[in-house]
Structure 1
Amino acid sequence: MSLWETYFTDIMAHEKITCPFCGGMVTVGSVCEYCGNFVSSTSFKVDGEKKDTIHTSKQETIRAVQNTENGKWGVLDSEGLQIVPFEYDSVRIVLPFVIIGKKMSLRNNGEKLLLGAYSIKSKKILVPIEYDWIDVKSYRLEDGKCFYLETAKNVLATVRNELRRVRKYGLYNGNSEIELLPCKYERFSYYEGGSYLIFSENDKSGLCNIREGEVMFPCIYKNIWLIGKYVEVTEDKYRGLYDISSNYPIQILPILYEEIRLTDNWLLVKKQYWGISNYAGEEIIPCRYDKIEYDGENKLRLFYDNQTKHVLQIELDGDKVVKGDAPHLSSVILSLIFSFFSFFFLSFLADDYWVGVVFSSITVCFPLFLYIHNKKYEIR
């Protein structure tokens, strides 16, 4: 081995890297304390350039052991050193945690096993021993893994005026080792590979960003739907929209709309009538149309007056209207000309002078009313 290879190998043997298996920090040439894999490195040359490859291999590094004298369980490492003290009635290794359990006496002289979680990383009890079940979950990140522990507890609660035993849920972030949600929620639903959690209490829903360890919304909304990097929320029968691409939610649309549809470029929104907004929440087309249809790329047809033949055809460039129909004056001008001649004709030939006046007024006012009515639908 050359002097450079000896130096390089020595450096690599003391370098801390991210474990390829679990994402924890581990020294090359040693056992990962979180997942129990042995992490090593080998070097080779490709076209004269030195490359190194990281390997992992499973080893029996920690094991559950029972004390034969008192029947209590603990955990030892491969060298026989104690990791978890022999104080528990059950242990279950789910690296990088150990689920620990203790039996509790019940009033009917029975026993119940309650569970907690011990962190191998911080060498302390992370989750107190008070739960009926604990599930360790994880999902892979670009720079490692995110661990979280779901807790469950069976409690008595009033459901539809009846006392029942129901299950409540809570959540701990295994990386930061903090409690994100207390064990009081009725339902958990995971989304985006486990990076987001919708939780419910008393028919209200909230949202938690597990990766960042942040509760984005408490239980204040009737429903929450994740749509990519957006969240649609409802209160009563109305909806709003948030952008959750950053650590904190940014409101795009207030909770005022009956329906929201996401497209590639715009938001189709309904507030009694349909309109269009951009993703900054700015109004492009006001909500006053019965229906909006695509008519080719960036072209729209806007229907009004109960989806009759009254249609405006517009073209959008980004969030700006670059071409649009306007109600035409031709019918109004023709009606005015016709009314002018009919006024004189009826005034002189009719037996009653006011018959001509009334007829002419109707002939003028009706098309003028239609023009003004249609004018309000023009996109300016």
Structure 2
Amino acid sequence: MISCKPNKAELNSAESQTYKRISGNKTWGFVNQNGDTIIPLNKYKFLNPIDEEGMILAENNGKRGYINITQDTLIPFKYDDLSVFSNGLAPAELNRKHGFIDRKGKVVIPFEYENESHFYKCGLARVRKNNKYGFIDKTGKVIVPIEFEKVRDNKADELVCAMKNGKWAFFSCDGKRLTDFEYDKITEVSYNDRTNTYFKKGLCRVEKNGQLGYINSNFETIVPFGKFDIAEPYQNNLAIVSKNGKYGIIDSLGTLIIPLKYDLIEHPAIYSNIFAEFLTNDSGKYGLLDSNGDILLENKYKEIIWDRLKRGENQQKYFIYKENGKFGAINTKGEIIIPFEYEQLSNFKYRDFTIAKKNDKFGVINSFAETIIPFEYNSINCNERKQWCNLLILEKDGNVGLADLKGQLKIPSIYQEISPCFYDETNRFIVKKNNFFGIIDIDENIIIPIEYNEISNWVEYGPDEHFVTKNKKKGLISREGKIVIPPIYDEILVDNSKLIKVKKNSLFGTINWKNEIVNPIEYEQILWEWPYLSYKELDTIYLKKNGKYFTTDTKGKVLEQKVSAKLIDEKFGYLLN
């Protein structure tokens, strides 16, 4: 049953507040601007942001529905899947069939289709029935017959496409076929962060009988099929083409505005983020054209690096290259934004600072080329393994310290090495001093005494604890500095939560996590199946003594007095041979 809406006073009270989603324990809730809980956690597995009509898509007990901020049920929780509204309708799934409902929960389009879809630019939705595709309008009327192998639409173009017998054709929004089924491929390009387009970036690249060509929005062939060996999709009304190994650029009329003279032309890209500019290669020397095809840099550079940097709240594209033996950077207009005065210049990587080298010393500059940390260090590194960092490791005259991005020293330069602990990269650090290792926090509190020959950091499939070595003996210490296994063993192997294999004086044994001996240290070999690969808890230990194997359980109780060499070879031959 759908509840009534809140009264006017309640509604006005709710509208005067602002709300923020929160999550925890794999559930979602809402708080208001004061941090007061409005919808508590541990009730809804999922809550979408509040939409323009004050409705919240929610999931509860494996079913989806809609509520408001006062938790009135607006659309009952009976749907296996339910999505957001577009054009007044939301796609829903019930008993493995898909249809559409309105904001009152009324079924507008019956549950008879095999896929979820939305209404986009054309006001049509893609539907599948009996494994065939077509389009319907918001009343459920079939506009493009449900008889095709594939269909496509997007949020930018007022047209759709359908495939028949492996060939594509274009259709209008009212279902009229605009072309024959003649194209092997039709290429979409990115229009913005949310959708693609066929024609809004220039001509549409299509393929016919294995040859590429371009058509305009009237479906006229502008660039004949096979004219170019390589024909890239359009970006900003320009496209890269190639013939006989030479590259050029054509405009939206198909005219060459950059002749076929380069060995290569490409758009720089960071993952799927494609630059509008063109990188050119002529006889191994790189140059740069702007988004209009005008020259930014002549082809005389060994390397041009592209990236993004942050200035204020904005991200800007830029290019690093070497001029007269020094590195600097320009923006997409060709303006110098980082002067050419550095022997090394690291990528900003979307940040507002980077590490540079000047007069044979390292320092840190911001995106306006202002010095943050002076150029007086032998090396500077970010404090972690990820793309982003907020602390810098500084090395000067053989000593290492830690500074923040304002240049303020957080840990003085009195250590031989500093390395962030992988589990807390901004607060815990493995340090080396007087050739010994330990762990300190950002306030220089000692967590693990600086007295070990080795301390592990991240270990693949390893335990939470740190492996330590002292006087050539190995042990385990917790992240809080508690000795779990004292460093008294020649070797230790940790790959499960029950037993640890240890080695002493060339013989093996096992201990539990309380450092209690389970299997005495008197065996020539100890083997077990690695739980990570066997997908089961450790239960059987294979021990070798006087050349013969037997088994025990994880508490040391004998299971089998004798185990065949064949079984050992089958289970552990990959380790022993």
**How would you bin the TM-score normalised by the shorter chain?**
0.3 to 0.5
Higher helix share: 1
Q: TM-score, normalised by structure 1?
A: 0.45
Q: TM-score, normalised by structure 2?
A: 0.31
